[in-house]
Every structure is written in structure tokens, then in C-alpha cells.
Structure 1
Amino acid sequence: MLPQPRLPGALDTQRHGGSPVMPEKLQNIAAGTSYATSGSTFLIGGLTANEVAAVGGLLLAFATFLVNWYYAHRRMLLEEAARRSAGEDDGL
């Protein structure tokens, strides 16, 4: 009988009695994806299309608020820095 060829990384069958084994990092990613999918299915499963649209709209509105706040805050900091540098140039 010919020896079984070694398979790279994720399909290494030499460990654990000849069954294919995924590396731990891939197992963690697969588990996280599985939990996220099942959780979202559980949460969305009982909602109608209108409710999903309403929740999506609320999430987008909140994301828009955060983006607007971030850029308004940055603009305020830049204007304040410009006023300070203009005041230093005028000898104030």
C-alpha cells in the first residue's frame, strides 16, 4: 500500500487519526460566523419586512449621526487651531 500524501495546513490528516483537521484560527472564525448567523436569524426570524426596514432605517440614522458628529468635531478642532495660529501671528 502506498503512503498517504501529506496535505497542506488546513487539511492535515496525519494528526488526530486520519481525519481532516482545521487550524485553531479557522475553527474560531467558523464558530464566530456560525454564532453570528444563528443569532441574526433568531433576531430577524420573527420580524416582518416592514419591521426589518424600520430597524435598518434606525441603524442607518444612528450611523449618520455618528459620522456627522465626528466630522463636526474635527471641523471645530481645525477652526480652533486656525484661530490660535492666526492670533499668534497677529501678536495677540
Structure 2
Amino acid sequence: MSDIQTHAEAGKAMIETTVAAAGSKATYTGAGMTLSGWLLSSEFAVLAGLVLGVAGFLVNWYYKHKADKRMQREHEARMGLY
């Protein structure tokens, strides 16, 4: 594999990791908004928190799934199975 491909894949992996981390933070923020909205009896805050939490979870799941597939391909290539 050429040096350019290696750097491109590393950059792509770094971006995906950053987006997954942001998705995780959005999930926690959504959960906090839901709880605070429930405590304050604010239906809008509860709904917004739920939407943000689910969106963050889905983003996080998507990028973690891609990372798992990438690591599996790397593992198979190292083991000579690919």
C-alpha cells in the first residue's frame, strides 16, 4: 500500500473517530436534557432531549460499526486470510 493511501485512510479513521465521539457526547447531552426537562415539566425539553439522544446514538452506532468492519479487515489482512 502506498504512503498516500495509508495517510488518507488514517485521516479518514481520525475523522470517523471524532464524529463518533461527538455522537457519544450528543447522546449524553440528550439524556441530560430529557432528565432536566422532565424535572422542570418542560415537554419541549423532554422531546428535544429524546431526539438529540437518539440522533447521537445512531451517529455513534454507525461510525463504531464502520470502525469495527475496518478493524476486522485489517485483522484478516494481517492474518493472511484476506
* TM-score using structure 2 length: 0.48
User: Greater relative contact order (Cα 8 A, min sep 6): structure 1 or 2?
Assistant: 2
Q: Greater helix share, 1 or 2?
A: 2
Which of structures 1 and 2 has the bigger CA Rg?
A: 1
* TM-score using structure 1 length: 0.43
